[in-house]
Amino acid sequence: MNKLKAVVTGASSGIGRALSLEIVRSGGRVLGVARNEGALLSLKNDLGENFSYVAADLSKLSEIDRVVEGAKGFLGSVDVLVNNAGFGLYKSVLEHNDDELISMVTVNFIAPIALTRRMLPLMHEGSAVVNVVTAGIHLLMTKLPVYGATKIAFHYASRALAHELKQRRMRVILVYPGVVLTEFHQRAGGIAPSRGRVTAEDVAKSILKAIEKGKNVVYAPSYISFLRMLGPFLPELY
């Protein structure tokens, strides 16, 4: 697992930042991607020459090519692509305006697939694509319904992608975090639920363990995997 060459989206905070720290501190190199250039620069100052970044808004698909070019220039080849960037809004379906709907669908669903497709020429046998979904797909997310819908679409496409990349001897690792202790819910305009909480650092460690051990599915914390069976009967958890 040492000396991984990774591209991590959403690297300026939360899971993406924690994962970037873990990879670089274990001897790897990371190209971080996020909109917040100030936060990326701060991470660069912390991690030094083994971290570089591309400030990009993934709601604009035209910026994906800059990410690929950044990976080519800084990493040469890519061992792991982590599709982690995403956002939600605490609004009912009917409260979302058109721009919010388009932006959320693009960032949470379209952009990671488009980035994966364009990054494949830099990847090789044994490479992995890590798609960060959410354990919330197993519930009716009444307070984050459009976010939940985009993540369900991402989950479905990721499972299909796993079959396609298996033919290239590459893996897709699906990650289903619970309520991560980050600023996600605050930025979304709500309050984080009290159940199923986990730190970004713990999720990052679970992802690295999955890469090392050959796991294809990660729940963090692990006990929330029960939602696969009971989630449909627990619609009010979110």
Who wins on pLDDT, 232 or 120? 120
Q: What pLDDT sits at residue 234? A: 61
Q: Give residues with Cβ within 8 angstroms of 228, minimum separation 6.
A: 138
In the predicted structure, residue 231 carries a pLDDT above the cut 70: no
Domain residue ranges in the chain: 5-233
Name the β-bridge partners of 171: 128
Q: Is 37 left (phi over 0), alpha (psi -120 to 50) or beta?
A: alpha
Mean pLDDT of 173-193: 88
pLDDT-derived band at 195 (thresholds 50, 70, 90) equals low
Kindly name the residue from 53, 90, 147, 223 that is annotated as catalytic.
Answer: 147
pTM of the model: 0.94
- Residue-level pLDDT at 235: 56
> How would residue 133 be classed by pLDDT, with cut points 50, 70 and 90?
very high
Residue 227 has pLDDT above 60, yes or no: yes
Query: What confidence score (pLDDT) does residue 101 get?
Result: 98
pLDDT band at 125 (very low <50, low <70, confident <90, very high): very high
Mean pLDDT of 32-37: 97
Q: Give me the mean pLDDT over the 152-175 stretch.
A: 97
Q: Which residue, among 26, 25, 21, has the nearest Cα to 43 in the 3D structure? A: 21
Q: Is the pLDDT of residue 160 over 90?
A: yes
Nearest 5°: the CA angle 19, 22, 23 is 85
What pLDDT band is residue 236 in, cutting at 50, 70 and 90? Answer: low
Confidence check: pLDDT of 28 > 80: yes
Examine the pLDDT at 233 and tell me if it is beyond 60: no
CATH of 5-233, one of 3.40.50.280, 3.40.50.620, 3.40.630.30, 3.40.50.720: 3.40.50.720
Q: What pairs with residue 34 in β-bridges? A: 55
Average pLDDT over residues 1-28: 94
Is 223 an active-site residue? no
Find the helix packing angle between 14-25 and 37-47, rounded to 10°: 20
